[in-house]
Structure 1
Amino acid sequence: MPKQPILVTGAARCGKSEWAETLAMTSGLAVTYIATATIDPSDADWQARILRHQQRRPATWQTILAVEDLASTIERAGDKECLLVDSVGTWVANLLDRSDAEWEDLTHTLLAKLSGSVATIILVAEETGWGVVPAYPSGRLFRDRLGMLSRQIGSIAGTVYLVTGGHVLNLSQLGQKLGEGERLLKSLNPVKM
């Protein structure tokens, strides 16, 4: 039976990866950490960030690098596995050079694999676009693609968490999925003929 994914979203350095790691640890399943970042030895800051993430993870976790082909990695997971995908934003950044049609195909395939997976899947996604519109086309493209993909994942997720200000909010308990509001309003105010 397919399981609904879990989405953990939030701003930079807010603790979203730590919360996702906590969820994975408490799953009771074998955890596979799906890293989407490429390793750049010339970028010391990036290397330090990756090292901090590695040091927090238990030694028993397997790590797989999925820079581009995230859907196939998800497809191979079994029902006794927990996949922790960190992060959706980095995966989007890796594929910014793809055309709109290619991007649509990639996201359609990813969402289909997420919807059909029997594994427990926790995805970490960055929140962007809460401020100034990026001045460069690539920044706008990244913001728009990540925002739409997070929305699409959130629509199929069983639980969505927002991590901000050092606190975790379960948005699935506090709010409603976009689109449900329209159905609720229609049921409360039926169109009279």
Structure 2
Amino acid sequence: MPPLPRVAVLLSGRGSNLRALLDHGNALGATVVGAIASRSDARGLRIARERGIPTAINQRADHPTRRDADAAIVSRLQAWQVEWVVLAGWMRILDDVVLKAFPGHVVNIHPSLLPAFPGLHPQRQALAAGAERTGCSVHLVVPGPVDGGPILAQAAVPILPGDDEESLSGRILEREHELYPRTVSRLVRGHHAAEVRQAELLTVP
């Protein structure tokens, strides 16, 4: 049996999507070989360490420039022999040095139905816009506008009367935990991005 694709997860916070990927078990079709956090206090580091996954910390302040910081990420990923880079709550814009090192193999999940509400605080944006629904989107990360890469999968979440940013974020996160492992699994198993999109575009009317 050929070895499973090697995946690394980049995170900045609690690591709930990392946990969802790991809980997918053998169905993920990949081995998570490392986790990099942009903050030393990221709770996701504990999840990785409890599962025996190597970790690293890459804080922007520890490097002269953003490019230097991201070059260090590339070095670490290459040392782990990573094939796929999965962003799971990574709160920094990646420099092209990472994207060029792993072309077409960097994937992100964003809590909105892209192209609506890209960037920071998308739940707040959706509420302020009076939207009736929002959701989450899995997309490839490519050079260009933030959250502007090809969309692979989406799941919709209705905005309910009385919703605030916290309640809406919680319901979106539940859908993320369902959608992200399934989409990553199809990618790492060799399905072309267009095939993944056709199979996993779950936005409801």
Q: Which bracket does the TM-score occupy, shorter chain normalised?
A: 0.3 to 0.5
The alignment's TM-score, normalised by the length of structure 1, stands at 0.41
Task: Please identify the structure whose Cα radius of gyration is greater.
Answer: 1
The alignment's TM-score, normalised by the length of structure 2, stands at 0.40
Which is helix-richer, 1 or 2?
Answer: 1
Q: Which has the higher contact order (CA 8 A, sep 6+)?
A: 1
